[in-house]
Amino acid sequence: MIGRKGSCTSGQMLMTDLNCLAYALEEWMVVEYLKKYFFHVVIAALTISAILVFFIVPLTILFFIYLTNILLLIYRKNGEVKADPLSDVWDGARKTIASFWDIYARIWHGYELHGVENLPEGPGILVYYHGAIPIDYLYFLSRLFLWKKRLCLSVADHFVFRLPGLKLLLEVTGVMPGTREECLIALKNGHLVSISPGGVREALFSDESYQLMWGNRKGFAQVALDAKVPIIPMYTQNVREGYRMFKERRFFRQLYESTRLPFTPPYGGLPVKFRTYIGEPIPYDPDITTEELVEKTKTAVQALISKHQTIPGSIWKALLERFDKHRKRD
């Protein structure tokens, strides 16, 4: 060691570059530092990489949603649009938004929509299973508008309206808190109204078993009876294989039940096959009770799941279905 120091500091040119580099590293304690912290650096790098892999697609979707709202704000300002967000004046903007999400759906999930003929020409209530994130429902709204130029109003959880920077997008796409009075007015005006009785609870705590988690919710059935409109069941195949939630933990369940806020983030975003199936409508029946209509609707949604979904869901099979050209699509 002393010899090396003397050689490097005395200016001897015969000392190899490699030996001098080794001496410098030892002198500055870099080697010791790396030995001590290298493992931690590797673990941190792997952790960050895993987070990006798990959450990059959901975060990308969130980015596009906010970008859409910004574009709507620009559209309103440049065009000086002051009309009601639900009016036909916004149809050009809606078509642009729907086209973007439909292209995304085709490319990333090979999205298909079946059973549109089961939708009534007039008002009705669509009841659907809620995935970890309702991206499949966004695909449905987009394609329905492109195919039928029809806007389906959506009942959303109250926390959605607390999210900053999305007000105009929610208004233009017909998202509403879904009070009884709002739903009745929308149905009276001839709109389709959609709701997931399981809502955020189903998104957070259902899993690849596709269990419906409706609890005692029956308001949608009462509204359907009051408005004298049919209920139409709907379900998207493989929605839980595309995006998932972490396994339920008692702490997170209690946290949700006390705050009604979704603290558990979704992950995934694999390009599995998505197919949305719209079932046959349940016609208005003045002789049926609210409770009976709830059970009838639940049975109809569960029947769609049983018919079209492998249970428990398989990510591998859902991915392979992207290449299955001969699958029966009834």
Catalytic residue annotation? 130
> Which residues 6+ apart lie within 8 Å of 308 measured at CB?
235, 237, 275, 277
Largest CA distance in the chain: 104
**Distance, C-alpha 71 to centroid of its chain:** 21
| Region of residue 61 (phi > 0: left; psi between -120 and 50: alpha; otherwise: beta) | alpha
Rounded Cα–Cα distance for residues 207 and 195 (Å) = 19
Q: How far is CA 14 from CA 9, 25, 26, in A?
A: 12, 19, 20
